[in-house]
Chain A
Amino acid sequence: MRASARERAARAARFAAPAPCDGGPAALSASPSAVKAARRAALKRKRRGSSDLEDTATHYGHCEHLEKTYLRLTGAVDWSKIRPPRVLKESLEMVKQRWKKEKDYNFASSQLKSIRQDLTVQRCAENERWLLLCIQVYETNARISLESADLEEMHQCLSVLDDLHAHGEKCTRDREVCIQFRDEFAAYRVLHAIHAENTFFLNTARDLAARSRQSIALAHAFAVLAAVRRNAYVRFFELHESAPNMSGFLMDHMLQRVRRNAFQALLKSSYPELDLKIVQEQLRFHDGRQRAEGDMRKFLDRYELEYVYIKSRKGKRFPRAINVQALKKGSSSSSTKTR
């Protein structure tokens, strides 16, 4: 199983020349014992038949491209295409600038994914030196995905961030900077769980609940939780208006659900009619004066309702209120609970 002399020389050569990236662990220096150790590791790898990804020594790539489209990794790693952390830092900056200017989500998403891939392959998350970079990449990705309503991608990033922030808590360098936005993203996790109705997560998030006493973002998220559960729509909309950071974006996704439940409550508790003005105010529809078009109209069209009309000066009919009395006489299925 001994590798041919040529192969061994090729591997040794990889470590002999200093890589273009700065510093790096001892394995990259040209010291003979390090070369021997790397060779042994490479031999072990070959015997096991494993890919470079399971290498025990940390490798850095040496690609210098700032841009790189995302491609799923299959098989062994091509180090000439992997960018070292130093480059990735600049790449992240590039993505941020482009996003500010162009808001091209496809581009940003692909770039960020390949930055993440390069970070994973080089195991940067395990290295305190690059932990902050990893965190910044995932935070940026989460924010951009959230802004672009890609909740799945955002959720993925949030899960990883959870871990990374936990590492950040314990690390000795840059600790403050690493966990700077920890609570903000934890709040997003809570809000996402509310949206996805992940009751298990919400029921057992012990440390999050404890931290909510000191953090506005988390306290806000838990207040939203209570409001949504109890259908306290007035409170919900208050919280929506005062949402910190990007929490409002997540709450946008709950609007539909909250409005529907709120509407049921209003319908059930008003008699003999429910003025549309109230519906508009309470459910925060920003329609024009006519109340005949716009979001509220679309919303109400989903239900089978009868209306009480008024005549305008021009003689046209406009609905003024919902005829609840007629509804109750008719089918009773409209008042089923939706939770």
Chain B
Amino acid sequence: MSAYAETLAAAVVRRDGPATAKLLRLDESAHPGGWAFVQQSVLAKMRERKSADDFARASEAEAQAVGLGEFSALCGLHLATVGSLAAAHECDAGPARREKLDTAFRLHSQAFKKFLELFRKDGSSWLVETMMTLIHDTRSLAVWADSETSETHTEHLRETKSLLETCFRQTTMGRAMTDDAQRKRMVGLYIVNHQFKVFFALKSLQLCRNLVRSVEMPTFPNLEDFPLNQQVMYEYYRGRLLILDDRVTDARRALQFALDNCPPQCRRNRRLILEYLVPISLFCGRAPSQKLLDEYQIGYLSDLMRHVRNGNVRALSALIDDQQDHFIARGLFLALDQLKVIAYRNLFRNVVALYQAQAEERQKTRVPLDLFLRPFELYREPDPLAQLTDAGSADAGGDAKSELMEHVKCVLSNLIYERFVKGYMSHEKEMLVLSPKEPFPKLSVVNPIEG
């Protein structure tokens, strides 16, 4: 252990940021010989003591002896965290593991707090890499600890939230124009991205909105100045936030940026982006190729697209219902409802196309509404209420027909209102009069891509 302390001391004396960061990481091999070995030896040493806290204090004392100075506490707590984590790995899932994780998290956040004191006192920026490491580790640990405790437990995440907020404040301190201050501020987006992860896990929309607001303040550096990977992550989360806020066109732009700038090797990330981007791109008439979908194994989205294209609202609804959990988890629930409108538009367009193919020239633009009745009946959205209430529609044929016509007219009037259809209806003659040119404008025109 003193060897570790010495290495750390050397790095600190040199003010070697990256090296210090590496030494204080929780899951990388900071030592030659492999991380598992490190874990075991630390764990063995920890077991010689009464408790993890005891071990922390003892290691701190050792570190002091080696001349680590102010960083000794940090060193001690870090080692104790490593030990507790190792112990947690050894346990099976259950109260024992939960307890060890709790301890590990507690120690780690204490270490983090100590680190923040040192950071503030130091004032310069050589510790930024270490800060980033600690942020990442704290959050991962919090997520694990919370998930082990129970599905809805969020205490650790909340703690992380306050730590991150302190971090953020710290990075904005210091005189504005110095190099050091600049470097500190450049950690900002990294912190923001992690805060996004935490806030999404905590399901707090307001906190996310505040984040975006603070990024857009003039005191925050320009987004383009940050590394591209951080920008991608930021736009991804911002896009998700916009979906939740029902701002689909803006969301599309953010997510498209994220996809465009995410390198092809990062398959997992690209897949995540696509899962949001594809459904909302369909409003703009933009559909990804089958090849793309296959490549990222999002087959269910290709079914979605097919039903929308064919105007089969019935099948579309069934699919959405089926995957409901999945869509709600991503906040796409409301957005998908809009897809049904597009599907209806396609349904009506297909009927019109058939009609116009065999209609006389004079009559081409005048479509009897009757033609829509049957297709609508076949492909319309099923009514979940009807199933629940066993509403046997044993109406006389005439009644049902006029009811159907009411619904058709309603859908049509909305399609016209939303400019999906160019034309008008004559209620008396029960006819749809279409514009001779482009009665069904392209979707990219109706929902323009550039906001």
- Nearest CB in chain B: distance from A218 CB, A: 10
Task: Find out whether the CB atom of B328 lies under 8 angstroms from the CB atom of A205.
Answer: yes
Does A275 sit at the interface, judged by CB under 8 A? yes
B118 within 8 A of A: no
B61 located at the interface, meaning its Cβ lies under 8 Å from any Cβ of chain A in the complex: no
Q: Which 5 A-B residue pairs are closest in the complex by CB-CB distance?
A: A271-B424, A269-B416, A269-B413, A265-B417, A234-B410
Interface: B203 (CB within 8 A): yes
A265 B416 Cβ-Cβ under 8 A: yes
**Can you list 18 A-B contacts (CB < 8 A)?**
A199-B246, A204-B328, A204-B331, A206-B329, A209-B324, A216-B388, A219-B384, A220-B385, A223-B383, A223-B384, A232-B407, A233-B410, A234-B407, A266-B413, A268-B417, A269-B413, A271-B424, A271-B433
Q: Mark A241-283, 1 if CB is under 8 A from B, else 0.
A: 0100000000000000000000011101111000100100010
State whether the Cβ of A333 lies closer than 8 Å to any Cβ in chain B: no
Q: Which residues does chain A contribute within 8 Å of B210, judged by CB atoms?
A: none
Q: A residues within 8 A CB of B246? A: 199, 203
Whole-angstrom CA separation of A223 from B325 in the bound complex? 17
B411 on interface, CB distance cutoff 8 Å: yes
Known: A199-B334, A203-B334. 16 other contacts (CB 8 A): A204-B244, A215-B388, A223-B385, A229-B334, A230-B337, A230-B340, A231-B414, A232-B410, A234-B410, A242-B385, A265-B417, A268-B416, A269-B413, A269-B416, A270-B426, A275-B428
Contact of B324 (CB < 8 Å), options: A210, A226, A266, A268: A210
A-chain residues with CB within 8 Å of residue B385 when the two chains form the complex: 216, 219-220, 223, 239, 242
**Complexed CA–CA distance, A225 and B22 (Å):** 52
Instruction: Kindly provide the distance from the CB of B204 to the nearest chain A CB, expressed in whole angstroms.
Output: 10
Q: Nearest residue in A to B407 (C-beta to C-beta)?
A: A234
CA distance A275 to B406 in the complex (A): 15
With the chains together, A148 CA to B333 CA distance in Å? Answer: 32
Sorting the interface of chain A by its residue count into under 10, 10 to 19, 20 to 34 or 35 or more gives 35 or more
B337 neighbours in A (Cβ, 8 Å): 225-226, 229-230
A204 and B411 contacting across the interface, CB-CB below 8 Å: no
- With a cutoff of 8 Å between Cβ atoms, the chain A residues found around residue B243 in the complex are 203
Pair B333/A209 contact, Cβ less than 8 Å: yes
Q: Are A203 and B417 in contact (CB under 8 A)?
A: no
**A199-B334, A204-B244, A269-B417 are known contacts. Are A216 and B389 too (CB-CB below 8 A)?**
yes
User: In the bound complex, how far is the Cα of B415 from the Cα of A266, in angstroms?
Assistant: 11
Give every chain B residue within 8 A of A45 (Cβ-Cβ): none
Chain B residue, CB-CB nearest to A201? B205
Report if A101 contacts B (CB, 8 A). Answer: no
Q: Which residues of B contact A303 (CB under 8 A)?
A: none
Q: Which of A20-34 contact B (CB under 8 A)?
A: none
- Are B414's CB and A265's CB within 8 A? yes
Decide: A265 near B413, CB < 8 A? Known: A199-B245, A203-B244, A219-B384.
yes
Cβ-defined partner of B417 (8 Å) among A212, A231, A234, A282: A231
Number of A-B contacts (CB under 8 A): 104
Q: Using a CB–CB distance below 8 Å, which chain B residues touch chain A?
A: 203, 205, 243-246, 324-325, 328-329, 331-334, 337-338, 340-341, 383-385, 388-389, 406-407, 409-414, 416-418, 424-428, 433
| B384-A213 in contact (CB<8A) | yes
B427 contacts A278, C-beta separation under 8 Å: yes
Contact in complex: B331, A234 (CB < 8 Å):
no
Decide: B427 and A275 in contact? CB cutoff 8 A. Answer: yes
Say yes or no: A264-B417 contact (C-beta < 8 A), given A203-B333, A229-B334: yes
Q: Report the nearest A residue to B415, measured CB to CB.
A: A269
Query: When chains A and B are docked, how far (Å) is the Cα of A235 from the Cα of B403?
Result: 10
- A204 CA / B325 CA spacing, docked (Å): 10
Residues of the A chain whose Cβ atoms lie less than 8 Å from the Cβ of B426: 270-271
A202 at the interface (CB under 8 A from B): yes
- Considering the chains assembled together, what is the distance between the CA atoms of A11 and B126 in angstroms? 60
Which of chain A's residues have a CB closer than 8 A to the CB of B245?
Answer: 199-200
For A335, the chain B residues whose CB sits under 8 A away are 417
CA distance A264 to B325 in the complex (A): 35
Q: Inside 8 A of B244's CB, which chain A residues have their CB?
A: 199-200, 203-204
In the complex, residue of chain B having the shortest beta-carbon distance to the beta carbon of A202: B334
B328 and A219 form a contact (CB under 8 A): no
Whether A230 lies near B334 (C-beta < 8 A) is no
Shortest CB distance B415–A (Å) = 8
Task: Please determine whether A269 and B424 come into contact, CB atoms closer than 8 angstroms.
Answer: yes
CB pair A269–B425 under 8 Å, yes or no, is: yes
A200 proximity list for chain B (CB < 8 A) = 205, 244-245
- What residues of chain A lie closer than 8 Å to B412, measured between beta carbons? 269
Closest chain B residue to A206 by CB distance?
Answer: B328
In the bound complex, CA of A337 to CA of B414 (Å): 11
Question: What residues of B have a CB within 8 angstroms of the CB of A234 in the complex?
Answer: 406-407, 409-410
Q: Which residue on chain B has the smallest CB distance to residue A214? A: B388
In chain A, what residue has the closest Cβ to B332?
A203
The answer to whether B383 touches A268 (Cβ under 8 A) is no
Count chain B CB atoms within 10 A of each CB in A203, A204, A234 and give the residue with the most: A203
Question: Whole-angstrom distance between the alpha carbons of A212 and B418 in the complex?
Answer: 29
Return chain B residues, CB-CB under 8 Å to A275: 427-428
**Bound-complex Cα distance A269 to B423 (A):** 7
A233 — which chain B residues lie within 8 A by C-beta?
Answer: 410
| A325 shortest CB reach to chain B, Å | 11
Q: Encode A271-298 as 1/0 by CB contact (under 8 A) with B.
A: 1000100100010000000000000000
CB distance from A177 to the nearest CB of B (A): 23
A199-B334, A219-B385 in contact; A270/B417 too (CB < 8 A)? no
User: A268 to chain B: which residues have CB within 8 Å?
Assistant: 413, 416-417
Mask: chain A, 321-339; 1 = CB below 8 Å from B; 0 = not: 0000000000000010100
CA distance A145 to B79 in the complex (A): 58
Tell me, in angstroms, the Cα distance from A271 to B383 when the chains sit together.
32
Which residues of B lie under 8 Å from residue A212 when comparing CB positions?
384
Closest to B408 in A: A234
Q: Please, which residues of chain B bring their CB within 8 A of the CB of A266? A: 413
Within 8 A of B (CB), among A182-217: 199-200, 202-206, 209-210, 212-216
